[in-house]
Amino acid sequence: MFKMTLRIRDRPLMRECLAEFLGTFILMVFGTGVGAQFLLSHGKISSPVAGSMTWGIGVMMGIYVSGGVSGGHINPAVSVAMATLGRLPWYKVPGYCLAQCLGSFAASGFVYLVYWEALDAFDGGFRQVDGTNGTAGIWSTYPQPYVSIWTCLGDQIFATAVLLICVMGISDPQNMQPPTGLFPVSIGLLVMALSMSYSLNCGNAMNPARDFIPRIFTALAGWELTPLRYRNYNFFWVNIIGPHIGAVLGAYIYQAFIGFHWPLPPSVDIPIGDLDNDQEKPWSEKEREARRGNSGSTNSNHTKGVTSEHDKCMKIASINKAFAGEVRFRRSARGQPHAT
């Protein structure tokens, strides 16, 4: 009975949101965990390269956990980009984004609890954002002192656009799509490479749930409003707006250069006269009477006429079904809405 009350098979949106929650939780547990271990050990355990690798593995595992249910977005910017392409209904976007944010917040809390004592040993219980004892960077990204806010915004737009161009290429069924089981590996390697390439300026979040939500957590967990007030409230919004703009831009760049231009499959025109296996034969007088429902016709002739009509209708329905599949395929090739 307890199992039955927990099952929500008939509520697909709820299942997808739960998958997004858990997938984002897994991503953040890996990513913030490696950051905490590196910083709190004064760099003796782990390294920046290991941090980039762990973020990539976190993405990979998060997609493995959630991808079969929801598509494994684990990033509000990705969900919005898929919705603009018609690949995710807009009514699902708020639920996806909320689930991703809640998963990120829950992961931030668990990592804080795991490293609570290490945090106190590191900073003496006095939480700081930057400086020698700054620890807020475990959860969120902060820019270099010499980098302007507009450079940070451009950095996030560019990196997220590259992320989505590559994600679109990997997931395009017309392109060199990897096997389904290797899709998370490909995305994980992609995030790892981007992290190794573009983290200097401002940490390369590329994901509002990965940066803004942990920033809110640190503001509530002892760092006060400093994570939000950083640079006079003129940085926290960069990792919200930048990834959303970059994701939509990257998705449409891929479509404009590749996705919209795949050749359409050839159409097959079947003459109506060829629906039967043999050539059409003229109706006999008895068959005409059976079709008109003449009471004087025999049952066998009536059955024969009805069966012939039934077979023809079934063949027309089969062709219509194939045509509908071709339309869906063409829409998918053009990035238009299609059923998932």
Q: How many CB atoms lie within 10 A of CB 331?
A: 14
Q: Token match 């009350």: residue? A: 5
pLDDT for position 8: 80
Specify the pLDDT at position 311: 58
- Predicted confidence at residue 47, as pLDDT, reads 92
> Which helix or strand (DSSP H or E) is residue 60 part of?
helix 48-70
In terms of Cα–Cα distance, which of 214, 211, 215, 208 is closest to 243? Answer: 208
Q: How many CA atoms lie within 13 A of 55 on its CB side?
A: 25
pLDDT at 141 (0 to 100): 95
At 217 the pLDDT is 97
User: H helices within 221-293, ranges in order?
Assistant: 226-233, 238-257, 285-291
Q: What is the pLDDT of residue 10?
A: 82
Compute CA 126 distance to the chain's CA centroid, rounded to the nearest angstrom: 38
CA-based nearest residue to 288, from 273, 305, 308: 305
10-residue stretch averages of pLDDT, the chain, 340 residues long: 66 95 98 96 92 96 96 96 96 97 97 96 92 93 95 97 97 89 95 96 95 96 93 94 98 96 70 47 59 49 47 55 48 43
| Residue 134: strand, helix, or coil | strand
- Reading the block at residue 188, the tokens are 């994980």
Smallest Cα–Cα separation from 136: which of 231, 285, 32?
A: 32
The structure's pTM equals 0.77
